[in-house]
Amino acid sequence: MSEVAEELPAGTRIADRYTLVERMSEGAMGAVYRGSADEGGPVAIKRLLDPGQAARFEIEGRLLERLHHNRVVGVIEHLSEPAGQFLVMDLVEGIDLDRELREQGSPGLPLENVLEYAQQAAEALTYVHDQNVVHRDVKPHNLVRGPDGLVLVDFGIAREEAAEQGGTRAIGTPLYMAPEILVGEEVSARSDVYSLAATIWALLLGKPPAYDDPTPLSETVPGAPPQLEDTLRAALAIRPERRLASVAALADGLGVSLEGAEGRGLALSVSKPAARSDLLEAIAHTAAGTFDAAAASVALVDPSTSELVYQSAWGAAAHEIVGVRMPPGRGIAGSVVKLGQGLAIPDCRNDPRFASNVARKVGYVPHTMLVVPLVREGEAIGALSLLDRRDGGGYRPPDVERAMLFADLAVTALAEPGQEDVTRVGTRAG
């Protein structure tokens, strides 16, 4: 297990533009400080306490910078400093729901208030899940009621490797955590469904539920309809496959509508793509979710110049990479197109084919890459690139075969009637 970093005193300077003021809270893997920016006023600064999780913290932090929604805390930037890894976030002024429950619960909060909070939390999580992100630490402490309603804060982006079994040790707050997290199984959006349901339960009854809690809500919450209890119990199912599948389904069962302002999606394409922009963006978005990548892109060959033109991307640095043109055979993607073979690069920063100058220019230097050709009728017409597994691990050769199958499906979709001729990129790319 990695050594935990020492406490930083008030007044510590970060990146020569932020100053730590005081510690606000501490979780299993990160401490959150109130800080001040030389330009911009107060901020919240999360510091990773375990240096062994630095790669994961960096990868996920860069992705969180791209989330934009009025009910999700804004991440300003990720910093790597001699004192450690940091995320600088907007400081959400207000009272968190744990404090409100402790100060005003009798033992729980009024049903009307709880349903309003449930609606707003569900708006935040629906957006987050649509972006292939799982919060991992939903609880009353991480829902802050500000002047414009609830804001979801403090993503649980780090996890500790269990030394004894090589699995994942649970990070979060017991009783709000989904059972699969406690036993080291895969975390998914359904894990957040469980945690949100446990949060709603706690706000109603004054404490989170025990697993398979027999407490009848209808007898303890005045005015609670049977549908409320049925919905919460369906969302609190022990096995994730038996649980309500989405936060939207939970909200629907509670009888609340999701009306929050839509956030900015993480997928985008060039202004004049070689195929339908929504299809290209869906390919990048789905590929990232399928392979747990922090970023994904689709590049197509311009037959007039043989350059690779990045048509669409999802995730970190998406805005910077779309429209970029790469000379023939340049970089890892160019090598893949030239050879017609997929590559899994566990350490692309030390790979001689890696176009490091281009990566620095777009502001994203990945740790690991998985790149496969898009092949039609035996000819490589482009490349699908996946950057950085979000668990901090590296892509390996077995991943190539799965990615090739995904690429075959993508090419088939691009060749459907009504699509532009994707081999004529030069006449369409903006």
Cα–Cα distance for residue pair 235/134, rounded to 1 Å: 16
CA dist 160 and 50 (Å) reads: 8
- Residues marked active site are found at 137
Beta-carbon neighbour count of residue 96 at 10 Å? 21
Residue 91 near residue 44 (C-beta atoms within 8 A): yes
Element housing 319 (H / E): helix 318-321
Say which amino acid occupies 151. V
CB under 8 A, 24+ apart: contacts of 304-311: 304/426, 305/426, 308/333, 308/334, 308/337, 308/382, 308/383, 309/270, 309/274, 309/425, 309/429, 310/270, 311/269, 311/270, 311/273, 311/274, 311/275, 311/280, 311/382, 311/425, 311/429
Q: What is the SS3 assignment for 155?
A: coil
What Rg value do the Cα atoms of the chain yield, rounded?
A: 23
HSE toward the beta carbon, residue 412, CA cutoff 13 A: 6
Q: 3-class SS at 48?
A: strand
If you ran DSSP here, which 8-state letter would residue 163 be given?
Answer: T
- Residue 329 exposed, middle or buried by CB count within 10 Å (0-12, 13-18, 19+): middle
Residues 6+ apart with CB under 8 A from 83: 5, 8, 12, 14, 47
Cα(427)–Cα(413) distance, integer angstroms? 20
Task: Please name the residues in contact with 187: beta carbons below 8 A apart, sequence gap of 6 or more.
Answer: 134, 136, 178, 180, 181
